[in-house]
Structure 1
Amino acid sequence: MKFRAVMVDTGPMREFTNIVSTISKLSKECVLRLSTEKLYFIVSEDNSGPSPPMLWCEIPQDTFFSEYQIVGVDDEYRDIYLGLVSANLSKSLATLKTAKCLKMKLTKKQCPCLTLEIETPSSTSQQTRQVTHDIPVIVIPRKLWSEFHEPRIPQPDMSIELPALKQLRTTIDRMKGMCPEVVIRASAEGRLTLQIKTDMAKVSTRFKDLRVMAFEGPIDHSDSETETQTIEDISKTCYCRVDTKKFSMFLSADQISHNATVCSIVNKKLVILCLQTEENVKLQCFITGIVY
């Protein structure tokens, strides 16, 4: 197996740093899948066995790297799967925002490593400095690859574009300190409501005039705990109760420059959060609903 890639543009280097930083906040460990067309960062729910991914991030290599070479085990299995500590990669990329060049390659030191060679300008002369980071990785055997495929999800009942992530993050971080669970409710009229309940109070924040990307028709709430709505048709709303902390962690992606963030809801079962950038980076977070 061989892998070598070079990045020289400051914009992609800065964006790549922000993406990895976001992933490191979501999980201590991740899987890096290298393919001929894309890089994938995959975070499982607990990183211990065949559980569906909590996060799936795909990065097109041609918009980020000026050189990109990969050789897999053979012609049939061309991908490479590496397990690594996401914080190690994030810390190694800390100087990338001012770097002139990044070279990534697979090496064999005392153990398999993802080696980063970062060329940075010197503050005292016109010469450049080269900093090398060797990040230990675990080469994942082919028999385990099926555990790290993009999850098959049911058709969402509704997809709605989220408001500004910074604004949303401020709101949810305040709620996080009050309640471990938040109900996310979306309506076909373009309203998004975040609601928490405690022994002392019920708090709701509503965002309106949002773009509805998809709505699959009337939703049966005959067995629902949804309260009677006075200003909207209940059959045109769907909701899901999720972990407040997990929702908040995804919102740390506000540091990634993006052109759209969409929230898709499978009523009472699943929330899919998807962030897309102009460079065709796609970051998806899957949060399983809490059902009593």
Structure 2
Amino acid sequence: MKFRALMVDAGPMREFANIVTIISKLSKECILRVAADTLYFIVSDDNSGPAPPVLWCEIPQAMFFSEYQMVGLDDEHKDIYLGLSSGNLSRSLVTLKTAKSLKMKLTKKQCPCLTLEIEMPSSTSQQTRNVTHDIPVIVIPRKMWSEFHEPNTPDPDISIELPALKQLRTTIDRMRTMASEVIIWASAAGRLTLQIKTDMAKVSTRFKELRVEAFEGPIDHSDSETESQANEDMSRICYCRVDAKKLSMFLSADQVTHNRTLCSIVHKKLVILCLHTEENVRLQCFISGIVY
């Protein structure tokens, strides 16, 4: 197996570092899948053992790398799967904001490593200096690859475009100080409501006139949650109760330059958050619903 890639443009390097930072906030460990035309970052739930990923990120290599060479396991299995510490990778990329180039390659030292060679400008002369980071990796055996495929999720009941992520994150972080769970409501009329309930209060924040990508209603409601939306046609509204901390972690993606973010809801079961960038990066987060 061989892998070597070179990045020289400041914009993609900064974007790459930001993406890895977000991944490191979601999980201490991740899987890096190297394919011929795409890099994949995959994160599974820390506490669930082998399970479908909770985060799936696709980075098209042609948009980020000026050079890209890889040779997989064999002619039939052409990809490379590596397990690594997302925190180590994130800390190694901190200097990319001022770097001139980044070279990534798979090396064999005392153990397999993802080696990063970062060329930095010198503050005192015209010369540059090179900084090398060796990040230990685990080569994932072929028999385990099936655990790291893109999740096969049910068709969502609604997909709605989110407002500014920074504004959403500020709202969620305030709600987290009062409750650990948040209910996300989405309406076919383009309304998004974030709601928390405590013994002392019920707090809601509403966003209006959002673009609805798809709605597969009507929605069947047979529970007490619907009382909070009594003034609307409930057959055109779906909701899901999720962990507020996981939602906040995804919303930290506001530091990645993006053109839109979609929230898709499988009624009461699943929230799928998908961020799209101009460089065709697709960052998906899967948050399972909390059911009582």
Normalized against structure 2, the TM-score is what?
A: 0.98
Match of 1:139 in 2: 139
Deviates more, 1:143-152 or 1:48-57: 48-57
Match of 2:85 in 1: 85
Match of 2:190 in 1: 190
Name the amino acid aligned to 1:145: W
Match of 2:29 in 1: 29
1:87-236 counterparts in 2 under 5 A? 87-223=87-223, 225-227=225-227, 229-236=229-236
Aligned residues: CA RMSD: 1.0
TM-superposed CA distance for 1:228, in Å, is 5.7
Counterpart-to-counterpart distance in 1, 2:89 and 2:95: 12
Determine if contact 1:29/1:47 at 8 Å carries over to the other structure. no
Whether 2:3 is the aligned partner of 1:3: answer yes
Superposed CA offset, 1:103-125 (max 9, x none): 00000111100000000100010
TM-superposed CA distance for 1:177, in Å, is 1.1
Determine if contact 1:228/1:234 at 8 Å carries over to the other structure. no
TM-superposed CA distance for 1:231, in Å, is 3.1
Counterpart-to-counterpart distance in 2, 1:177 and 1:138: 38
Match of 1:53 in 2: 53
Distance 1:169 1:119, change over 3 A: same
Match of 1:271 in 2: 271
SS in 1 for 2:271: strand
Determine if contact 1:30/1:47 at 8 Å carries over to the other structure. no
Counterpart-to-counterpart distance in 2, 1:73 and 1:246: 35
Distance 1:258 1:243, change over 3 A: same
Match of 2:18 in 1: 18
Distance 1:48 1:115, change over 3 A: farther
Deviates more, 1:213-222 or 1:14-23: 213-222
Deviates more, 1:204-213 or 1:47-56: 47-56
Counterpart-to-counterpart distance in 1, 2:170 and 2:225: 27
TM-superposed CA distance for 1:224, in Å, is 5.7
Distance 1:47 1:196, change over 3 A: closer
Name the amino acid aligned to 2:38: K
Superposed CA offset, 1:231-268 (max 9, x none): 32100000000001000110010000000000000000
The unaligned stretches of length 5 or more in structure 2 are none
Superposed CA offset, 1:25-65 (max 9, x none): 11111000000010000000127632111100000000000
Counterpart-to-counterpart distance in 1, 2:111 and 2:143: 21
TM-superposed CA distance for 1:226, in Å, is 1.9
Name the amino acid aligned to 2:111: C
The runs of at least 4 aligned residues of structure 1 exceeding 6 Å deviation read none
Match of 1:62 in 2: 62
Identity %: 80
Counterpart-to-counterpart distance in 1, 2:86 and 2:19: 11
Match of 2:42 in 1: 42
The unaligned stretches of length 5 or more in structure 1 are none
Equivalenced residues, count: 292
Normalized against structure 1, the TM-score is what?
A: 0.98
Distance 1:4 1:48, change over 3 A: farther
Name the amino acid aligned to 2:41: F
Distance 1:47 1:108, change over 3 A: farther
TM-superposed CA distance for 1:217, in Å, is 2.2
Name the amino acid aligned to 1:213: E
Name the amino acid aligned to 1:233: D
Distance 1:172 1:164, change over 3 A: same
Name the amino acid aligned to 1:191: R
TM-superposed CA distance for 1:8, in Å, is 0.5
SS in 1 for 2:135: strand
